[in-house]
Amino acid sequence: MKTWLSGALAALVCASGIGFAQEPPKEEPKKQEEGKKRGGPMALPTSADLKEKCGLDEEQVKKVDEILASYKDKVAEAQKKIKDAEDKKAAAKEAMTLRGEITGKLVEVGKDDEQKKKLTEATAPPQRKKKE
């Protein structure tokens, strides 16, 4: 009887293990979603992302594109400084100041308080995972 019971238990453990092995990982969609959300430079969303998330009209989308285009050279320069700098923290701080300036101009595109709130949330810097 013990042999039969241990054999049944082993079969049950194997069967449940197979079920877990076939289940897709749950973190993959979050990573893909995050990549779509932050398609622009300096982890800023693109105008298409803002249109979708914040309900921007075509005129607002044009303004967002103009803002992002006007900062293109400054962003490239800031990213190069970070890459080449000996003091990466100082260069990153400078880049975050530039990012804040861009974000402020993007939020100004909103027509009302609700849309400005959505723009603020959509352009907020991505949260870093805390080390355990």
Nearest 10 degrees: CA dihedral of 38, 39, 44, 48?
-100
pLDDT tens readout for residues 18-60? 544 555 555 544 444 444 445 677 888 999 999 999 999 999 9
Residue of higher predicted confidence among 58 and 129: 58
Asked if residue 94 lies in contact with residue 16, where contact means CB atoms within 8 angstroms, the answer is no
Q: How confident is the model at residue 131 (pLDDT cuts 50, 70, 90)?
A: low
- Which of 31, 34, 59, 35 is CA-nearest to residue 47? 59
Q: What is the mean pLDDT of the chain?
A: 78
